[in-house]
Amino acid sequence: MSKAIYNPALANIEELSETSATFFIEPLHAGYGNTLGNSLRRVLLSSIRGGAIVAFRVQGATHEFTTIAGVKEDVVDIMLNLKGVRLLVHTDEPVELRLEHKGAGVITAGEIQTTADVEVVNPDHVIATVDDPKASVLFDLVVEAGRGYRSIEDSSDERLHSDMIALDAIFNPVLRVRFKVDNTRVGQETDLDKLTLTIDTDGTLTPREAFEEAAAILVNQYTALAGSTTVVGAAALGTSQDDGSGEFGTSIEELNLSARTANALVNNDIRTVHDLVSLSEQELRELKGFGSKAFEEVKEKLAELEF
């Protein structure tokens, strides 16, 4: 077995919908499926940047434990509905928005008067229902970008206006993350991991954007702890490497080896030059059906190729 810790490869991305995708990462060093899966999942569910309504003011209500004339829902219900508005925020500063509705009907998130810094992703989301045709409802909203969760106490302390009602805010745009780890192999490496990771988002960013941001956050965290120590990562197993001639990706059949030697290599799942050079001399000698003559033939061929 090779002692190198090979870098992983993003083998495939299966897009299930605009807001859901499955990522296939393989091959991974033994045990690294759970290591990467847990790390990515925790960061995806806690640290991806998103936007949320953190405070609001509605005409006719001074606190949350009251009702609004002409509106079916009480203020507590409206608070819950406001937390369901999905926002894409392009600034780090708080943004004040307004929503004005006249007459009977359903108030939706699409009626929020946005700016260039804020986009509403789910405009059909219901905020309240007006059952009085003569009623007029006016909302002032404060929108912020953030990460993770902010409690209602923290939002109260950071309110722009003291007469506004604070909301606990869930900034994270990732709704759900699932992963599983399976066994896989490449050549003689038989104890490798395959990580399958499925990400569901709220539509304010794509699953791939969330995946890449989570990976970048982990890179920054570990780089800060590594100091001056560096470890050269080996290229992912089973991928071709570019040495200027592309010979790592050359198949065994193209090496002009004797039929017996080539068949012995292929039968041991050694299919490319990369697979071949990944083996030590001892591992090569121990291949099933691989004798000393075959060993010498391969050694001469690798020398000829300057490997």
Domains of the chain are 10-48+174-225 (3.30.1360.10), 49-170 (2.170.120.12), 247-304 (1.10.150.20)
Region 200-214 average pLDDT: 95
pTM assigned to the model: 0.71
Say if residues 214 and 47 touch (Cβ distance below 8 Å).
yes
Region 91-116 average pLDDT: 94
Alpha carbon distances (Å) from 99 to 102, 136, 274: 10, 11, 62
Say if residues 289 and 257 touch (Cβ distance below 8 Å).
no
DSSP state of 272: B
pLDDT of residue 245: 40
Choose between 106 and 68: higher pLDDT: 106
Region 10-20 average pLDDT: 91
Residue 4 has pLDDT above 80, yes or no: no
pLDDT of residue 307: 61
Confidence of residue 1 (pLDDT cuts 50, 70, 90): very low
Residue 230 has pLDDT above 80, yes or no: no
Residue 197 has pLDDT above 90, yes or no: yes
Confidence of residue 241 (pLDDT cuts 50, 70, 90): very low
Alpha carbon distances (Å) from 208 to 5, 8, 18, 177, 250: 25, 17, 10, 13, 32
Write down the mean pLDDT value for the chain: 86
Residue 282 has pLDDT above 90, yes or no: no
Region 113-131 average pLDDT: 94
